[in-house]
Amino acid sequence: MVVSLAQIRETSGEVFTEGCPTRVVLDHIMSKWGVLVLLALTDGTHRWGELRREVEGISEKMLASTLRTLEADGLVRRTSYPEVPPRVEYSLTELGRELMERMLPLVEWVAAHAGEVVGESRRSA
What is residue 121's predicted lDDT score, i.e. its pLDDT?
58
Please write the tens of the pLDDT for every residue from 12-51. Answer: 888 888 888 888 888 888 899 999 999 999 999 999 999 9
Dump the DSSP string for 55-115: STT--HHHHHHHHHHHHHTTSEEEEEE--SS-EEEEEE-HHHHHHHHHHHHHHHHHHHHHH
Does residue 125 surpass a pLDDT of 60? Answer: no
Does residue 3 surpass a pLDDT of 90? Answer: no
Please write the tens of the pLDDT for every residue from 65-96. Answer: 999 999 999 999 999 998 888 899 999 999 99
What are the residue ranges spanned by the domains of the chain?
Answer: 1-26, 31-112
The whole-angstrom separation of Cα 88 and Cα 125 is 46
Q: Note if the pTM is more than 0.95.
A: no
Does residue 60 surpass a pLDDT of 90? Answer: yes
What is residue 2's predicted lDDT score, i.e. its pLDDT?
81
**Fold of the 31-112 domain:** Arc Repressor Mutant, subunit A (1.10.10)
- Interhelix angle 32-41/21-30, rounded to 10 degrees, is 70
What is residue 124's predicted lDDT score, i.e. its pLDDT?
57
The whole-angstrom separation of Cα 17 and Cα 23 is 7
Q: Give the bridge partners for 78, in sequence order.
A: 90
